[in-house]
Amino acid sequence: MSPPKETHTPPRQIRIGDDWYDFQAAIEAMGGDLVGGGTERAENLRDYIAWVLRRPGSTMPKRPPAEMAEQIRKRGAEIKREAEAKAAARTRTRKGA
């Protein structure tokens, strides 16, 4: 069971770029479950931060095997296309309202 999420700080927005889609694909490839309509990207980032800061109980994050790199890039591109299509649909809906 994961430790409770710390909610005493406001959410932070960071810009990752297209690597964000590949990161999601990598999490999926390693069996990451969907959480709240997305993957466990934020949880994985928090785990990485805890490991870098040498927090008690933290462990080095797992990463997919190198031979999965091409599969991950292809899935990342697919996720990006899906996200762009959703954004375009929202824009069209707003303009038509």
pLDDT by residue for the chain (97 residues), tens digit each? 556 566 677 877 888 899 989 998 998 888 876 554 455 778 888 888 999 999 999 988 888 999 999 999 999 999 999 999 999 998 888 776 5
- Cβ atoms of 60 and 51 within 8 Å: the answer is yes
Q: Tally Cβ neighbours within 10 Å of residue 8.
A: 4
Tell me: the pLDDT tens digits for 2-14?
Answer: 565 666 778 778 8
Distance of CA 78 to the CA centre of its chain: 14
Pick from 63, 54, 27, 57: which is nearest to 42 by CA?
Answer: 27
Say what the pTM is: 0.71
